[in-house]
Amino acid sequence: MNVSVEEITCKSSLTGSGRSYRLNPYVGCEHRCEYCYATYIARWRGKSGPWGSWVQVKTNVMEVLAQELVRKKGIDVFLSTVCDVYQPLEQEYGITRQCLSVFLKAAQEDPGLEVFLLTKSDLVRRDVELLRAFPAGTLRVAFSVTTPRDEVAALFEPASPRPSRRFAAAKVLKEAGLTVGLLINPVLPYVTEHDLPALFEIAEESGLDFASFDTLHYLRGHVGGKMRRVYEQLDQKARMRLEQARNDPASYERDLRQLIEHLAEGQRLTVQTYF
């Protein structure tokens, strides 16, 4: 798919309040994950093309960020919510790397600053030396995964680097001394549930620090139709489980939480659910 790239400037970089903030160096994402909740942002940006067909690049976001971090101290910043900060365009623009350099300088002066970096891309390996320079306890890196099976991931995340590449990158970052984990988000009904034991095993074997879980959002809204189309390529049991999650979310989430808690018993890594 051809991607329309628009260079824009921003007046502010961080969104949020109190201690919790978010930073999006880009708006839009080339990875085109079928379950992405952020597709709603298109109508706010006046975009009519399908999700993944356009990306806005905030060319001045690093300068704005530096100014804001002078005023905001002791905050937590999550990268990011409406893009992958290491999507392919990052190779050309390097916006994320420049923002991380700003965070590094700020962290050396503000011990209360914490940065949580989330990605589906092994491009993060490019910045391993920069990430290593952060003071201890100020940076965490998570890799978003739904399945360890590359062929299954291709159905749900057609333009993302395959999970095997993410796991290899996670191991490299962990061996470099970083705090690294998995964000299993979303847990795809039936699909991810089947793969949970393997995901726990990979995390343990790689010495990762944490694994966090969240469910599939907006299944009754703008994500639902796309997910049903993907699930049509799977077997009947998968489709039935998807419908259960949609029609009886309370029961589904209870069963899922119990399964995760059971698998987490005896694990070294920290496990957290967000549902």
Residue pLDDT tens, the chain, 275 long: 789 999 999 999 999 999 999 999 999 999 999 999 877 675 666 676 788 889 999 999 999 999 999 999 999 999 999 999 999 999 999 999 999 999 999 999 999 999 999 999 999 999 999 999 999 999 999 999 999 999 999 999 999 999 999 999 999 999 999 999 999 999 999 999 999 999 999 999 999 999 999 999 888 887 889 999 999 999 999 999 999 999 999 999 999 999 999 999 999 999 999 99
- Residue 44: what pLDDT? 61
pTM (2 d.p.): 0.94
- Residue 37: what pLDDT? 85
Q: Can you give the CATH number for the domain in which 174 is found?
A: 3.20.20.70
- Let me know: does 100 contact 130? Beta carbons within 8 Å: yes
Give the span between the Cα atoms of 262 and 63, in whole angstroms. Answer: 46
Give me the number of domains the chain comprises.
Answer: 1
Residue 137: name the closest of 111, 119, 175, 118 by CA: 111
212 contact partners, CB below 8 Å, separation of at least 6: 142, 181, 182, 183, 184, 185, 271, 272, 273, 274
- Residue 223: what pLDDT? 86
Residue with structure tokens 């628009």? 6
Task: State which residues form the domain around 143.
Answer: 4-273
Per-residue b or e along 93-132, where b marks 16 or more CB atoms closer than 10 Å to that residue's CB = bbbbbbbbbbbbebbeebeebbbbbbbbbbbbbbbbeebe
